[in-house]
Structure 1
Amino acid sequence: MRYMATYDWMETLRNTNQWLGATALSLSSYPVFSLAPNPAFQWMAAWGEVTERTFQRMVTKPDWGIESITGEDGRDHLINIETVISRPFGDLIHFDVSGREEMARRVLLVAPMSGHYATLLRSTVRSLLPDCEVYVTDWHNARDIPVSAGKFDIEDYTLYLVDFMRELGSDLHVIAVCQPVPLTLAATAYLAEQDPDAQPRSLTLIGGPIDPDATPTDVTDFGRRVTMGQLEETMIQRVGFKYPGVGRMVYPGLLQLASFMSMNNERHMKAFMDQISRVAQGKASDRDPHNKFYDEYLAVMDMPAEFYLSTVERIFKGLEIARNEFVVDGHRIDFGKITNVAVKTVEGGKDDISAPGQCIAALNLCTGLPDSKKASYVEPDAGHYGIFAGRSWRNNIRPLVLDFIDTNSDAPEPRKRTSPRKKPKGKVDQPANKNAAA
């Protein structure tokens, strides 16, 4: 019960600020005040609207908001989100495109469990849907998972990925973004030893900490500097009585958000002041750039304490992945057992979270993989988010990833599915490492 009061105190502060915002908006919007127009009421209403929305979004899971896409036939096709596998800590979901035959490219997009929901990859999913059959790992908020569901650490996360890959079969291409990169590589190596027929055809690793010490950042420095005892004492709390996961030890989303905001405090303060000004002047809209960004950025989820602590202790401090010493369910994984899964790494030249050098270390771990099955790419001007969303992803990285998938689309035993689309005339296959770093 020691940390439950702290958890509820943070939720109380959030709830109070949301209430203050709603009260200010309602009070300043009374029709009677129109008899004596005063700019102060406009600014009060604007402050209330922005404040209420801000604190409400912190506990609201965003919608995917992908309702339809335009197919090759020129028609709009509705999107249905189907649950393929349902588990206590996360689901495997499928974006089914109504009225369209199954695509040749089948992609599993592994979303991070690092404070934000899988919807953080919304633009990534939307960009892949016209050309791929897209599956996504949709992780649950730990505050909503009863204690009876048990623990969930990085070994459990890895085994979830193993089960998801087995379910989808070998006719699959996996794209892992940020935090799950080392665990996705571990899941592939696990399958290489335990169930080779379930291995995916290709693995694209985007901006993840395979070897955090390869290029130190503020994140890795923090992981080195703080002790596990300090982390457990200052970051871990018990879920309060308001949620189904009451009593579960978590790294609270609100505490994570406070850390995110403090890294660029002045920038965020200016963004909110500017938004209040726009609302007061009637220049804001429900889905303007500010709201589109912060509706997602502010939506945070609690992380299981054992997952957070084991990530820091084993990935960042112990370097178990980088040293090829990672153990899952009592079995020591050997990355050298990966021999026929093409692996490509993607890094951002301006990534200050997982800097260039950390992800490409995966290629050195795959000692059993021929060079023809290895590839790497660095997007010079992209930051951490730019390598999986935004202009850099759309214009430069996404086409390379799709080419890499097409180059490695010959499985030993393809599963039954619709016939692949024909390649455009004049297109020839390229070696898997055509984007390999010099």
Structure 2
Amino acid sequence: MHIQSISMWTGKSDNYAYLVVDDKSKDAIIIDPANPDEVAPILNRLLDQKKINLTAIINTHHHWDHSGGNDRIIIGGKDCKLVTETPKDGESFKLGDINVKALYTPCHTQDSICWLMEDSTGRAIFTGDTLFHGGCGRFFEGTSEEMHIALNKTLAAVPDDTKVYPGHEYTKANVKFAMSVLQSEPVKKLHEFAENNKETQGKFTIGDEKQHNVFMRMDDPEIQKATGKTDPIEVMAQLREMKNSFNKPPKRRAPATAEASTPKVRQSKLAKENNITAAEENEIREAFALFAEKRKGVKEGVIPIGDVRRAMIALSITPAPSELHEFLTILDPEDEGFAEFESFLAICALKLHARSRTSDSYIQEVDEAFQLFTSGGGEGKITIATLRKIANDLKEEVGDDLLRDMILEANGGAGVGKGVEKGQFEEVMLRAGVWR
């Protein structure tokens, strides 16, 4: 079995497509060829050289950045079906001497599949956006229980020597978060490897992930301590929430003074028209892009009406059934089956404005995030000492001058010794776009 990684959108979404070739027959499959401009030249060259017999395209899930290139890679013309088989959990087929098995792992999407392959040379698993080195995908269409089952039941049962090939190069960001909750030797080794290697796909096994991936260590006392939970499903849920909100402190915009002003975030015309921040607009764009399909003359593409609710769930603004019917009527008045970006953004903006910051869930989120900064000390406020400790934990070189400026910017210039109280911390996070 020969595996060739094909990098796509490097420096942006850092996707991987994978070409798997049977050594004897040269039969081959391509996995998640989302960007034909980068994938097709490689395939065409190998086909011209008669080094492969391309037999199939397989996808790990339906998101456009994994399956969006199928229609340009497939052979058979515009009338050829893009999806010919939907495998059942555990269903297998042969690629020459390679046994290929589909493992159903719903959560990131409900159609997520991890592809386990094995021949006499070894084992490999292609995990899409379910499992990354040192991390896991967001729970866009599923629950913490589903991700726990996917990672710690389904994938944990795969032989430990199976090499892992994820859908994105996210290792550096994942391990930075992991270091904030678990500073074990395996995590430190992963951190060192990620710092010294731009690509990490296929360099680690399922056995390695069980050691350095915090999302596969629900029983670890340190992780339970960091999350404040012991039930594995609750640990998974809390850990994902912590990862979602794990950001660097806001960058210094100007030297702080006693009259420090509130930093302004640049808004687009569209954001201003809908009274949302630039960060909120970016989040809406990302959610829209997850389900978008290309359409000639439409810059952002369109999303199928059936995916509108999923996109809103990804933004944590799930519409009620009665709302959804009204929204779909607004988004698709001609009943064409698609929605464009600007109208989708307007609907999402309405939901964002309606979301109450006095809700129990929002208050809990603020409390838990604030505790991440103060658990090491600070007597109920963020001090220069607690920021210094966090910087050290993350291996970030941040001078005391910058830390002092961060304190002053957050507390309005009240003084470094005053620290940052919870209300001030919340305002900083709102300005940074971490919360809506």
Give yes or no for TM over 0.5. Answer: no
Bigger relative contact order, structure 1 or 2 (CA pairs below 8 A, ≥6 apart): 1
TM-score, normalised to structure 1, is: 0.25
